[in-house]
Homo-oligomer: A and B are copies of this chain.
Amino acid sequence: MGSHYRGTEEELRSLNTYIKLMRGAGSVAVRLERRLAEAGLTERQFGVLETLHHLGPLPQCDLVKKQFTTGGNITFIVDNLERAGLVERQRNRDDRRYVTVHLTEKGRERIATVLPRHVSEIVETLSVLTPAEQVELGRLMKRLGVTEETAAVGRR
> A interface vs B, CB < 8 Å?
1-2, 4-5, 7, 10-11, 13-31, 47, 50-51, 54-55, 66, 68, 119-120, 122-123, 125-129, 131, 133-138, 140-147, 150, 152-156
> Which B residues lie within 8 Å of A17 (CB)?
126, 129, 134-135, 137-138, 141
Copies of the polypeptide in the assembly: 2
Contact among B14, B120, B135 with A13 in the assembled complex (CB-CB below 8 Å): B135
Q: In the complex, which of the residues A21, A47, A68 has the most CB atoms of chain B within 10 Å of its own CB atom?
A: A21
Asked if A29 and B156 make an inter-chain contact with CB atoms under 8 angstroms apart, the answer reads yes
- The answer to whether A153 and B18 have CB atoms under 8 Å apart is no
Q: Do B136 and A54 touch across chains, with their CB atoms under 8 A apart? A: no
Docked pose: A125 CA to B150 CA in angstroms: 11
Tell me whether A150 and B13 are in contact (CB under 8 A). no
A25 & B25 in contact (Cβ 8 Å cutoff): yes
Docked-complex contact B131 and A13, CB < 8 angstroms: yes
In the complex, A15→B47 CA distance in Å? 13
- Among the listed B14, B30, B50, B147, which residue makes an inter-chain contact with A152, where contact means beta carbons less than 8 Å apart? B30
Given contacts A119-B5, A134-B13, contact A145 B50 (CB under 8 A): no
